[in-house]
């Protein structure tokens, strides 16, 4: 599955998704885009899931009918260590996700 890590996530987290094509916004050339433009550009680039810590994105952007889905990570901080603890749940969620889905993982 093609995954895109939002620029607000530690880039090292991409190594936790070895069985997937996981790229960062910077590497994919999508750095600095607003949420709506990012979702559209990611979708056009063939990404299937955007992983972010932005809790408001699902309220600001409509995902229904899009070819991309969204995983929102909720952890005490956005440090690698806190986000890495959520990876097993992310991997489980990826097994059943469909385009347009929004999945929240973690607490907070």
Which structural domains are found in the chain, ordered by start?
2-106 (3.40.50)
Among 80, 4, 15, 73, smallest CA distance to 42 is for 4
Segment 86-93 shows an average pLDDT of 97
Q: Which of the four pLDDT bands, split at 50, 70 and 90, describes residue 42?
A: very high
The answer to whether residue 87 scores a pLDDT higher than 90 is yes
According to the model, what pLDDT value does residue 108 have? Answer: 64
| pLDDT for res 15 | 96
User: Which of the four pLDDT bands, split at 50, 70 and 90, describes residue 32?
Assistant: very high
């Amino acid at each position: 599955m093609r995954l895109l890590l939002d620029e607000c996530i530690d880039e090292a987290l991409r190594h936790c998704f070895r069985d997937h094509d996981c790229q960062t916004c910077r590497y994919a050339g999508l750095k600095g885009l607003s949420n709506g433009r990012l979702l559209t550009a990611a979708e056009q680039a063939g990404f299937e899931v955007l992983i972010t810590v932005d809790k408001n994105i699902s309220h600001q952007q409509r995902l229904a009918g899009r070819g991309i889905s969204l995983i929102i990570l909720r952890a005490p901080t956005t440090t690698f260590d806190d986000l890495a603890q959520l990876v097993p749940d992310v991997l489980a969620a990826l097994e059943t996700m469909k385009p347009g889905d929004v999945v929240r993982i973690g607490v907070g």
